[in-house]
């Protein structure tokens, strides 16, 4: 798969303790046009992250010592790294594992048996999304966030709440098989996560609006001070000429 000019210069950090797997992914991504760095443990991954900020992280979760979930959380907590896209790689694709990975801040969760073409396509999509986000001004981001909050609230919250109520009723019933009870439980967890996501978007939108206003006020003050300093220097120049 050929890389586009937009992705060919991207630097990808692979955190994978299996030498066979890391060689496989390195070869795959270098063929796609990326530059690749490999770390063999969570600790090495964090060191590499501090030395050279990657454009994307391909992260195994089953690592010795510091596991992938802790690495993902550390990336999201970092001031300089919080917006780096992360794709978690794992041989475990069960719902609880996927949810655990997404809760720690991963952008995507991919099984190691996933088709390589799909993996490369997901990487390209995440890189392009991140580039687009970084090109957008603060004001435009705020408008997009407010639009998302206004759209998601009525369109998702009420149907999700209604579905959640129905699922809770089902959970109160006696199921003949444990698989049915487990399916109902997973569905409830998904619906609760959707509702938390909507609430988080609304909270972030509100906080971002407040921060944007405060930042604008601060910039206005700084501009006024700059103008005052300029006028003061101009007045000093006039006094000197006299």
CATH number of residue 26's parent domain: 3.40.50.2300
Within this chain, do residues 33 and 127 fall inside the same structural domain, yes or no? yes
**Residue where a domain terminates, one of 102, 135, 168:** 135
105 shares its domain with 142:
no
Q: Torsion angle of alpha carbons 213, 219, 224, 230, nearest 10°?
A: -170
pLDDT, residue 3, reads: 46
Same domain, 116 and 145: no
pLDDT of residue 102: 75
Structural domains in the chain (count)? 2
172 lies in the same domain as 109: no
Question: Which pLDDT does position 158 carry in this prediction?
Answer: 81
Domain-ending residue, one of 135, 163, 192: 135
- Which pLDDT does position 180 carry in this prediction? 84
Which residues lie closer than 8 Å to 88 by C-beta, 6 or more apart? 59, 60, 61, 68, 72, 101, 106, 108, 109, 110
Q: Which candidate, 136, 46, 32, places its Cα nearest to that of 84?
A: 46
Among 78, 100, 135, where does a domain finish? 135
Domain membership of residue 197 as a residue range: 138-241
Per-position pLDDT tens, the chain of length 242: 444 444 557 999 999 999 999 999 999 999 999 999 999 999 999 999 888 899 999 999 888 888 888 999 899 888 888 889 999 888 775 556 667 767 778 888 888 777 888 899 999 999 988 887 776 556 666 676 677 667 766 777 888 888 888 888 888 877 778 888 888 888 888 888 888 877 777 776 666 666 555 555 544 544 554 555 544 454 444 444 44
The pLDDT score that the predictor gives to residue 16 is 94
């Amino acid at each position: 798969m050929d890389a586009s000019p937009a992705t060919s210069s991207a630097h990808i950090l692979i955190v994978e303790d299996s030498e066979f797997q890391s060689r496989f992914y390195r070869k795959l991504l270098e063929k796609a046009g990326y530059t690749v760095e490999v770390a063999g443990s969570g600790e090495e991954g964090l060191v590499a992250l501090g030395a050279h900020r990657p454009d994307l992280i391909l992260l195994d979760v089953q690592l010795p010592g510091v596991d992938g979930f802790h690495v993902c959380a550390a990336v999201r907590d970092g001031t300089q790294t919080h917006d780096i896209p992360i794709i978690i790689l794992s041989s475990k694709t069960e719902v609880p594992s996927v949810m655990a990975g997404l809760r720690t801040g991963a952008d995507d969760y991919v099984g190691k048996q996933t088709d390589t073409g799909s993996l490369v396509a997901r990487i390209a999509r995440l890189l392009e999304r991140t580039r687009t986000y970084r090109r957008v001004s603060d004001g435009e981001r705020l408008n997009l966030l407010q639009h998302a909050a206004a759209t998601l609230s009525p369109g998702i919250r009420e149907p999700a709440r209604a579905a959640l109520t129905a699922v809770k009723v089902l959970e109160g019933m006696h199921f003949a098989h444990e698989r049915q009870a487990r399916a109902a439980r997973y569905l409830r967890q998904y619906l609760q996560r959707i509702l938390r996501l909507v609430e988080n978007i609304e909270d972030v939108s509100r906080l971002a609006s407040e921060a944007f206003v405060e930042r604008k006020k601060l910039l206005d003050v700084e501009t006024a001070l700059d103008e005052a300093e300029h006028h003061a220097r101009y007045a000093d120049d006039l006094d000197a000429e006299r």
